[in-house]
Amino acid sequence: MSERTLTQRYDSFRISNINKQDMRELIKTKIKELILDFGQKIETTTEQEALYYLVNRSYELISSKYRYWTWGDIDLALERGKIGQYSRNTITSSKVTVQKIQSWLFNFSEERSRQRQHEQKNAAPDPVDRTNKAPAVYAEAMVYKMKHLSQYPQIWNDYSLQRIIKHLEAGIVSELTEQINIQKEQYEPVHSVLSGKSNRKKSYSAAR
C-alpha cells in the first residue's frame, strides 16, 4: 500500500485502532515530509539515526497520550504547527524536533478544548429527563462528573450528562475515564469547579 493510500485509509481511524506497523509507517511518512519541508536532509547515517529517533519518540507520545485522536487529527495538528499557526506558543527551532512535535500536539489540543467550551457555552444546557429514564441514571452520571471533573473547570463542559450516560449504559465508562485522565494531565486541579477559580495550565516543559 502506498504512503498516500495508507494516510487516506486511516484518516478517520482512532490511533488506538491502528495496528503498530501501520502506525509507525504513518508517523515515519509524516516526519519525513516535515523534515524535508523544514529544509533538512535524510542522507547521512547520522540523519537516518535522527529520523529513527524521531519516529520512535513520536510513536510513544502519540500512541499513549493521543490514542483517542484520529490520525486525521494528528496530521492536522502537525500541518498547522508547520505553517506557524502555533508560533506564539510553541518552541522556535529551524528543524523538526520531538519537543516541537509535542508542542504542536499540545497546542492543537488546547485549541480544540477552547472550541468545545465555546460550543458548550452557546448550546442549550443539559435538559431535564424527557425520555423517562430512571432518575438514578442521571444521579449516577452527576456523581461521576463531580468525582472526575469537579477540580478541572477547563474540561468540565466537555462532558455533558448525556455523554456520560451513554458510556454508563454501554458499559464502557472506563474508556471515558481514561480519556478524561489524559486531558487532566494538562492542568493543575483547583478546589472546585464551582469555586470560580481558574486552573493554571502546566507549562509544557514542566509537564514533561
Q: Tell me which of 1 and 174 has the higher pLDDT.
A: 174
Q: What is the pTM of this model?
A: 0.59
Look up residue 17 and give its DSSP letter: G
Residue 142 exposed, middle or buried by CB count within 10 Å (0-12, 13-18, 19+)? middle
- What number is the average pLDDT over the span 46-55? 92
Q: What is the rounded average pLDDT of the residues 88-117? A: 79
Quick one: average pLDDT of 34-57? Answer: 90
Rounded to an integer, what distance in angstroms lies between the CA atom of residue 120 and that of residue 61? 29
The whole-number pLDDT of residue 41 equals 86
For the chain, first and last CA: distance in Å? 36
DSSP 46-61: HHHHHHHHHHHHHHHH
Whether the pLDDT of residue 198 is over 90: the answer is no
- Across the range 44-57, mean pLDDT stands at 92
CB 159 within 8 A of CB 123: no
Q: Model confidence at 200, in pLDDT bands (50, 70, 90)?
A: very low
What torsion, rounded to 10 degrees, do the Cα atoms 149, 60, 80, 159 define? -20
Identify the residue whose cell numbers are 529551524.
94
HEC string of 57-86 equals HHHHHHHHHCCCCEHHHHHHHHHHHHCCCC
Indicate the pLDDT class of residue 60, thresholds 50, 70 and 90.
Answer: very high
Per residue in 68-80, pLDDT tens?
889 999 999 999 9
| Confidence category of residue 129, pLDDT binned at 50, 70, 90 | very low
Residue 61's pLDDT band, with cuts at 50, 70 and 90, is very high
Q: Please tell me which residue, 171 or 93, carries the higher pLDDT value.
A: 171
Domain ranges in the chain?
3-118, 125-207
**Rounded Cα–Cα distance for residues 100 and 203 (Å):** 14
Widest distance between CA atoms in the chain: 67
Name the pLDDT band for 176 (thresholds 50, 70, 90).
confident
